[in-house]
Amino acid sequence: MTWNYSHKTALVTGASSGIGEVFAHELAKKGCNLILVARSQEKLKQIALKLQNTYSINAIALPIDLTASNATEKIAEGLTTLGLSVDILINNAGFGTLGSFDKIPQSRVNQEIQLNLVALTELTHKFIGPMIERKKGIIINVASMTAFQPVPYMAVYGATKAYVLSFTEAIWAEYRDSGVQILALCPGETKSSFHAASGSDSLKGKRMEPIEVVDAAFKALEKDRSMMIAGLNNYVMAQVIRLLPRSTVLKFAKRIFQPALGNK
């Protein structure tokens, strides 16, 4: 399915770096107007201004902390004030925490669930209705390769991403004939600020460029896919995980993540 992005409006969360920032750049290239959401106000404004000047589109920075329980209401209020509707929703914002579960502060666990799961669900619920009425729209929810198996020492992150994958594929089936395209995007290790923020920077492995992940998403939309695993090696790994005994997968995952704990 070919989409005309010109003069459409896309809301991108986590737009100040990594996959979210690249999504913003690529959508701007296609002539799409942007609403950029992240916590970092100055960086967000710089990105919005640069994209606006480079591609002659409208780019608005909405500095909002999506870990706050009223974040979706704030976004909705901002859009109402601006008189904007959302044609494309990119739910990209998310973070993880490397550590033994009992040693991670409860406040951080709550924020992780709020951002990765609650905010994503609320934003999807908020904007899918108008898209259905218009019989046109795109929703991309960024999951992860961790959606395919539990992740020892990143238990909450893996669980939230499993939810994102299951939730997104379910509503893809519900609304397949509505004109709204819905995609769960599953990247593996990707170059971004995620690893520094999660404390997993010491994990070794080849990391994809964010543009590779974003390109995979656009290709999946053209094929009306419910889910896209970015990268051939990641696709193969996901299939292997499904074939192996669950206990084997968990033991292997523990051996990968445990050495990175250090003194955590």
Q: Which residue has 């033991």 as its token pair?
A: 251
Closest to 163 (Cα-Cα) out of 198, 129, 127, 121? 121
CB 24 within 8 A of CB 51: yes
Q: Are 6 and 227 in contact (CB under 8 A)?
A: no
Catalytic residue ranges = 157
Distance CA(24)–CA(127), nearest Å, equals 18
Question: Looking up tokens 């009306």, which residue turns up?
Answer: 224
Q: Which of 106, 89, 54, 264 is nearest to 185 (CA)?
A: 89
Residue with tokens 């600020």: 193
**d(C-alpha 191, C-alpha 209), whole Å:** 6
Q: What phi, psi does 50 have (nearest 5°)?
A: -60, -45
Let me know: does 153 contact 257? Beta carbons within 8 Å. yes
